[in-house]
Amino acid sequence: MVDWDINIPGFFVDGDFNIPGSFVDGDINIPGFFVDGDVNLPVAKMNNNSVLTIGTFDGLHLGHQKVLKKVVEIAIEEGLQSVVISYKDHPAFVLKMHPMPKMLCPAEIKQREMKKLGIERIELLDFTLELAKTPPLKFLKDFIIPRFHPKVIVMGYDSHFGHLRQGNFEFLCRHSEELGYRVEYVEPLLFEGEPISSSSIRDLLLSGKIEAANFLLGRPYRLIGNVGHSNSQGRKLGFPTANLNLLCPHQLVPKSGIYLSKVFLQENVFFGLTNIGCSPTVKKTGIIEIETHILDFQGDLYGQSMELELLRYLREEKMFKSVDELKEAIQNDIALAHIMLKEFSQ
């Protein structure tokens, strides 16, 4: 069991949490032009009225989910199209902010999870420095109103858009009568007295507190990429591994160590042991890699897409005195993994 410093009951498996309150993480929500909205959704005609929200939604954690559930709820009740305006990448990368946050939720995962929540239309904006200077009223009048015809705009307590983050709840209220929409405000979702935030989840992941992070995310943290070349050290030891090359180089890689993981290979799902680290006993490069020994699996996965959900943190990576000692530790990890997997089958 992972030892964390916050008391969270249970372990998250199915993301259908019903928790009151909500929080939208206002980490530099600045709009740009629409670039890639082709997410294969049943999109209504452009002149349909909508209910929408705007945000980075990095992590798409429980607070974000409550905001989006509010959007879907209003859409159903009032016969509107549900719309989310978000970003292909985190605006901080373009603004070159320091410290620069690592992404929790690449676009592929973000779109997929939004669809699961019932969002009909997802618009991804390409963020540029020029568009960071766009005044919120100009963005509202020239882009949001003519393109989406919003009748309702949903805002969280820290939602912002436009130059210097001036487009907030109060700003939208001032222009609502003139532009023909109403504004719905969503209270923050608090945990231990503080709003759930993407930054707090990043801290948990970097500390190896994967179960706590998963709880606040509302689902297991997922890494996505393709299986790349490796030096076959795992195979030589008798424990072949698949080396994950991340699809998004900006995605946050959690603390080094051994994790119990769930492995997604096209339509097939397995469990595995994922080592995040540099494998110091058998490698001398010092390069951090994401290698997974898939339990009860044989086959060549090179070049295939693969996704990992990190479920439990088992132990830290360490330098063993010998290869035999390393092999014994891996065997113990596999035995522990099988014991833990019984919990998931109950």
Is 202 within the bounds of a domain? no
Is 5 within the bounds of a domain? no
Are 231 and 181 members of one domain?
A: no
Low-confidence ranges of the chain (pLDDT < 70): 1-47, 93-94, 96-98, 230-236, 282, 345-346
pLDDT of residue 1: 36
pLDDT of residue 20: 35
> CATH number for the domain including 108?
3.40.50.620
191, 206, 240 — which closes off a domain? Answer: 191
Closest CA to 71 of 185, 157, 164: 185
C-alpha–C-alpha distance, residues 167 and 233, integer Å: 53
79: left (phi over 0), alpha (psi -120 to 50) or beta: left
DSSP 140: I
Which domain does 255 fall in, by range?
A: 221-345
Is 212 within the bounds of a domain? no
pLDDT of residue 101: 81
Are 271 and 148 members of one domain?
A: no
Are 64 and 185 members of one domain?
A: yes
Are 321 and 225 members of one domain?
A: yes
Are 238 and 305 members of one domain?
A: yes
Residue 39 in tokens:
């997410």
Task: List, edge to edge, every strand of the sheet that includes 81-87.
Answer: 33-36, 121-126, 81-87, 50-54, 150-156, 182-186
pLDDT of residue 72: 98
Closest CA to 172 of 54, 71, 60, 88: 54
Residue 199 in tokens:
């930054």
Closest CA to 15 of 55, 73, 83, 68: 68
Neighbours of 327 (CB within 10 A): 15
Are 290 and 229 members of one domain?
A: yes
Are 177 and 41 members of one domain?
A: yes
DSSP 100: P
Is 214 within the bounds of a domain? no
Closest CA to 62 of 106, 92, 31, 18: 18
pLDDT of residue 289: 93
Are 127 and 273 members of one domain?
A: no
Is 51 within the bounds of a domain? yes
pLDDT of residue 185: 97
pLDDT of residue 159: 87
Helix ranges, the chain (H): 62-78, 91-95, 107-116, 129-132, 136-139, 145-148, 169-179, 198-206, 210-217, 233-237, 323-345
Query: Could you tell me how far CA 282 lies from the centroid of its own chain?
Result: 32
173, 191, 209 — which closes off a domain? Answer: 191
C-alpha–C-alpha distance, residues 237 and 130, integer Å: 53
pLDDT of residue 65: 96
Is 101 within the bounds of a domain? yes
Closest CA to 273 of 190, 336, 225, 193: 336
pLDDT of residue 100: 74
Are 87 and 171 members of one domain?
A: yes
Are 41 and 186 members of one domain?
A: yes
C-alpha–C-alpha distance, residues 200 and 5, integer Å: 13
Is 9 within the bounds of a domain? no
Are 155 and 274 members of one domain?
A: no
pLDDT of residue 318: 85
> CATH number for the domain including 226?
2.40.30.30
In the chain, the number of structural domains is 2
Is 249 within the bounds of a domain? yes
Are 177 and 277 members of one domain?
A: no
